[in-house]
Structure 1
Amino acid sequence: MHPEIPYLREAIIFLVAAGLIIPLVRKFGISPVLGFLFVGLIIGPYGIGRLAGEAPVLEHIIFNDLDGVRRFAELGVIFLLFTIGLELSVAQLWAMRRLVFGLGAAQVTVTALAIGAIAYLFGNSLVAATIFGLCLALSSTALVMQLLTENRRFSSPAGRSSFGILLFQDLAVVPILFFVGFAGASVEGSLAGAAVRAIGEAALVIAVIFLIGRIIVRPLLQFVGSSGSREIFMAAVLLLVLATAAITAQAGLSMALGAFLAGLLFAGTEYRHQIASDIEPFKGLLLGLFFISVGMSLDMLAVWDNIGWVILSVIGLLILKAVIIFGLAKAFRLPTAVAAESSILMSQGGEFAFVVIAAALSFSLLDPDIAQFMLLVVIVTMFLTPALADIGHRVGDHFRTTDSENPVLMEASDVSQTVIIGGFGRVGEMLARLLEEQRIPFIAVDNDAELVAKHRALGTPIFFGDAGQPDVLRHLGIENAAAFATTMDAPKTAEHVIKAIHQKWPHVPIIARARDVEHALTLRGSGAKSAIPETMEASLELCEHLLTGIGFPDDVARTLVNDQRTWQQESMDQEQDR
């Protein structure tokens, strides 16, 4: 380690894994999540770290400070929850209430009761059994969401139902931690009373954060967005996310929940697509570090020493959770294919078990040996998650041939296509007005924060962002767009945007505004289906007015001008073909 740069060696090892090993893993069709888990297993203290005493050279390629890495890796979960909140809105959350507060609440309650009862029968105290039941009822948000995203299954019915359950689980972490705190302060007190107090205080803190945030977020983003600097804008976003997470942590809540609340606040603004695009690299890298930290936590010798009980416990946990989730999903009238895929995908333990069990140990509520064994079981089930995702998808496909998809779970983007307008100056505004009059849905994107704020206040569906960034367009839903229209003034910018869209989404027709015929030909060569030169249209309009002004009938003048327009377009086509 460099004496002035902490964790420099660990950072280099991680970047080698992320930049060299993971791309190699992907070439063999292996999930990057599984790759990160195995990298952590190998370079952690329980992997080649055991040999460092005999071969000191290995000290340079291993992670020794597991606790330090785990604390830093928690940022990955924080940014994951932030992006989940960013993809939602309060209205969308309410629209999903049946899945979140119905199926999700039922899953946590029933699973916690079942696991808690089993733990109590094995001789644990009522408090310890309750804690084990609650923490093992939770699944891995980080693993499941990453796998759904990688496999492009997030928007599927199974992905949406899994997300609804995960969302309630993440919300449930708060009262669970409150419960542990109250139980630790007074173990002899009423568990029901502790739970009620925990939920009440959590709701109060969340309400205060949400109310204050709704007042300050949009004005602050508008202020920093008007600077025109992406760096300053991103710094303000990171400040708000981490500040909200820190506030919830100080209040005794989960930092991840604070990040989720920040995401919900940003989701209601016109800046959410640009933020989602800019935050993606941070989230991806830090989640990779989180998965490595999970891999580093697995002690294979400890597994081997308890191999019989570990196998039984892992199989028991996976089967119990899968059966409960499947039964509840069917009770909520989800299709069999969706219920089967979701139940298998969500059957593992989750990262919040580390947080809950650590908090319980700090209050001496659990036997340390039993707690460590439970964490071992959770880690093994997390290792199995990529395989579970594949099995779940295959089982779902088996039932899907005879089972219809549930329309409640389908995304709005699957129902209707939208025109995306890049740039919202005078031409973009005129185009939007025409689409609105014809009842054609559209959304616009522009990087002028003041212009965006002005039109948002008028109810225009416009968002702040750079239309030249593919990630921004992806978040806008361009893969399902009816067309993309660029109305930008800057020729080079328009050319860059058209090239980016045509390369990644060649099926989306692109209509472009051009300055002149030469510029129009350039844009067509970049991938535009049609490029309209402003100078040509202005000249044709002038001709029409001239003809009517000297006595030609309107319809005759219009026909002559249209003939001239057709001739100009054919000339451009011939020029392009040369």
Structure 2
Amino acid sequence: MASAADHTSFLPPVLTFLSAAVIGVPVFRLLGQSAVLGYLAAGVVIGPFGLTLIPEAETTRGVSELGVVLLLFIVGLELEVSHLISMRRDILGLGTLQFALCAAVLGGIGLLFGLSVPAAVVVGLALAQSATAVALQLLGERRDLSSPYGQRAFAVLLFQDLSIVGILALLPLAASNGPGGEAHLGDALQSAGVAVAAVLAAVAVGRYGLNPFFRLLAASGAREVMTAAALLVVLGTAMLMEQVGLSMAMGAFLAGLLLAESNFRHQLEADIEPFRGMLLGLFFMSVGMSIDLGLVREHWLALLGATVATIVLKTALVAGLFRLFGSPWLDAVRGSAVLAPAGEFAFVLLPVGSALGLVDGEAGRFALALAALTMVVGPIAAKAIEGALARRAVPDQEPDASFEGPENAEARVLVVGFGRFGQILTQILLARGLSVTVIDKDVEQIRSATRFGFRVYYGDGTRLDVLRAAGAGRADIVCIAIDDSEATLKVVDLVHAEFPSTRTYVRVYDRVQAIEARNRDVDYQIRETFESALAFGRAALEGLGVPAAEAAALADDVRKRDVARLVLQQASDPALRADSLRSAYTIKPEPLTVPKGSSQALNAETEDIIARERDRHAEPEPVLAEAATAPQDA
């Protein structure tokens, strides 16, 4: 039987990582630096070359790379195939030029410093890569991923992730000599065929199988099963791509892209986000742990010069290419700065090159330390460049005309709830051509939305992570149109607390909830039957021969009286402000206009009811300015 010590043996390293994160990241954020730098510094401190709290950096590398995998999945979710096609010029053109030019220049410098041709090629290719995790984290912190320069930077990163497949296939060919080259070529072609077949299979399953799969799970109502299914899809696709020679990150991006147009994308993003954040932080710490401080002390001057030179060269080269593709100078420098650090695949290419004999041990260790240091210094340089450019930015700078943002990337209206009320509401918004995001947790409503042509996503609007994933922080207005009164008020509280600049428009159920909504300072609220009842009454008057103008004036007068009474009730009824009494408190139906006479009974039973009511209210209640309470369900 396992001892208690066996069960708790995993706790010390976990507690070490958590402690390093909660100390390091806040410190660097207080200093005005990126969270990436905090994770990297924490990794240096706890790693084998620091305090040796974690003796082996490689023990965490496999798990930590899942952070990059989940990051690429979420990025894929936020894109659409049509938008990806529109980026083909930047992906194939700008991405190819960036990678080839940076690899050639950095490899050429390696030749000048005595590297062999094969070693210079491997080092140049490794350092020409950019840190996907660092770049996307910086763009995310700035909220610039959907900006023109952010999209161009992402196109470059995407090309680099695609290129790693060909590079890993060509390195064995470069290492082969003599007659074995044909065999290597045949193996490479076979691997490429298997990879293409795997991609096509994943696309077919994603296109025709994932939506029905998630629809079935959502109908079960088990939230944890949806989370498990999301992880299954992401990690399963990543593992499949790795088995056929592609990168796990590329597989995760493909999975996200296949689900980008799914009705479940926002719920999936909300479910994955906590895992992504923690594992990505672990990845950055593992990079910090891999920095050989002994080698840094021994060659500190050379490493410092090489780190600065690499960042400056890549920034200058990529900025020039951004300008060549039409970006303004400010955007070109911003984009090149986030792409300056060497990428995660440097920690893959350099060990493979060393194992194949293309790079000797000393040069490989130096290049690995250089790649890690660029990831440490790069965010600092990007932060400094961004600050300098912000002071010199031109407010009226024209946008990049060649950029086409993703469809619905910045929806102006987020509608929570797609029932009868929400369906009519969205009809009006879409008729005006507004960009609308709708979320609902009823699978049947989502299925119905396909007949309307709306994009409605599966998600629980009372969850903050779902609201954030659906774009509540970027929307101008959040329209809350759900039936559950408590859930409605919970959404209002979340939006006001987390997205104070977003306005709230609320459909409320009755008068009690209307007052509660007013107490929360919503920007607009309407009772679900009030306006329709007024319209009904106005039509009835017209049917009785009352002129249309007079009928409209009477309806408007009733509306004004009702608002006046609502304000008085909000100020005078303490029970409506007490959360503990909210569920039990009701408002009695009362007329808005003083009756001309008393109620008359038509039978004995009714007479008894009226008599008991008169006895219970022997002392009449005051009437306030001819405005009493309206029916509760109005």
Residue type of the partner of 1:213? G
Q: Which residue of 2 aligns with 1:52?
A: none
Q: Which residue of 1 aligns with 2:48?
A: 45
Distance 1:557 1:270 in 2: 45
Deviates further, 218-227 or 457-466: 457-466
Distance 2:91 2:427 in 1: 38
Q: Which residue of 2 aligns with 1:479?
A: 473
1:277-296 map, 5 Å: 277-296=270-289
Q: Which residue of 2 aligns with 1:16?
A: 19
Residue type of the partner of 1:262? A
Q: Which residue of 2 aligns with 1:383?
A: 376
Change beyond 3 A, Cα 1:170–1:358? same
Deviates further, 144-153 or 373-382: 144-153
Q: Which residue of 2 aligns with 1:224?
A: 217
Q: Please give the per-residue CA displacement for 1:322-378, whole angstroms capped at 9, x wherever unaligned.
A: 222122112112111111222233222111100112223333332122111110111
1:443 aligns with 2:446: no
Change beyond 3 A, Cα 1:417–1:454? closer
Distance 1:2 1:92 in 2: 53
Distance 1:332 1:368 in 2: 39
Q: Which residue of 1 aligns with 2:248?
A: 255
Report if the CA contact (8 A) 1:491-1:515 is conserved.
yes
Report if the CA contact (8 A) 2:21-2:42 is conserved.
no
| 5+ residue gaps, structure 1 | 50-61
Q: Residue 242 of structure 1: CA displacement?
A: 0.5
Aligned residue for 2:457, secondary structure, equals strand
Distance 2:310 2:410 in 1: 41
Q: Which residue of 2 aligns with 1:454?
A: 448
Deviates further, 531-540 or 426-435: 531-540
Change beyond 3 A, Cα 1:492–1:398? closer
Q: Which residue of 2 aligns with 1:527?
A: 521
Q: Please give the per-residue CA displacement for 1:472-529, whole angstroms capped at 9, x wherever unaligned.
A: 3333333343422211110000000011112233333322111111111112222322
TM-score by length of 2: 0.83
The counterpart of 2:128, out of the listed 137, 162, 168, is: 137
Deviates further, 235-244 or 268-277: 268-277
Distance 1:522 1:390 in 2: 45
Change beyond 3 A, Cα 1:138–1:486? same
1:99 aligns with 2:102: no
Report if the CA contact (8 A) 1:344-1:391 is conserved.
no
Q: Residue 383 of structure 1: CA displacement?
A: 0.8
Residue type of the partner of 1:267? A
Q: Which residue of 2 aligns with 1:369?
A: 362
1:271 aligns with 2:264: yes
Aligned residue for 1:3, secondary structure, equals helix
Q: Which residue of 2 aligns with 1:54?
A: none
The counterpart of 1:88, out of the listed 74, 79, 86, is: 79
Deviates further, 158-167 or 432-441: 432-441
Report if the CA contact (8 A) 2:26-2:38 is conserved.
no
Q: Which residue of 2 aligns with 1:160?
A: 151
Q: Which residue of 2 aligns with 1:56?
A: none
Q: Which residue of 2 aligns with 1:59?
A: none
Distance 1:410 1:396 in 2: 24
Residue type of the partner of 2:467? L
Find the structure with the greater CA-based Rg: 2
Distance 2:571 2:362 in 1: 76
Report if the CA contact (8 A) 1:297-1:379 is conserved.
yes
Change beyond 3 A, Cα 1:122–1:203? farther
Q: Residue 447 of structure 1: CA displacement?
A: 0.9
Q: Which residue of 2 aligns with 1:58?
A: none
Report if the CA contact (8 A) 2:148-2:400 is conserved.
yes
Report if the CA contact (8 A) 1:85-1:263 is conserved.
yes
Aligned residue for 2:505, secondary structure, equals strand
Deviates further, 240-249 or 183-192: 183-192
The counterpart of 1:213, out of the listed 197, 206, 211, is: 206
1:418-567 map, 5 Å: 418-456=412-450, 458-567=452-561
Change beyond 3 A, Cα 1:191–1:92? farther
Aligned residue for 2:209, secondary structure, equals helix
Distance 1:201 1:391 in 2: 45
Report if the CA contact (8 A) 1:348-1:381 is conserved.
yes
Residue type of the partner of 2:417? G
Q: Residue 379 of structure 1: CA displacement?
A: 0.8
1:349 aligns with 2:342: yes
Aligned residue for 1:366, secondary structure, equals coil
Distance 1:416 1:21 in 2: 33
Report if the CA contact (8 A) 1:154-1:160 is conserved.
yes
Report if the CA contact (8 A) 1:486-1:511 is conserved.
yes
Distance 1:244 1:365 in 2: 31
Q: Residue 121 of structure 1: CA displacement?
A: 4.8
Report if the CA contact (8 A) 1:520-1:533 is conserved.
yes
Report if the CA contact (8 A) 1:298-1:376 is conserved.
yes
Q: Which residue of 1 aligns with 2:325?
A: 332
Q: Residue 12 of structure 1: CA displacement?
A: 1.2
Q: Residue 458 of structure 1: CA displacement?
A: 4.1
Higher helix proportion (structure 1 or 2)? 1
Residue type of the partner of 1:16? S
Report if the CA contact (8 A) 1:156-1:410 is conserved.
no
Residue type of the partner of 1:63? I
Distance 2:320 2:193 in 1: 30
Number of matched residues? 566
Residue type of the partner of 1:8? L
Report if the CA contact (8 A) 2:413-2:476 is conserved.
yes
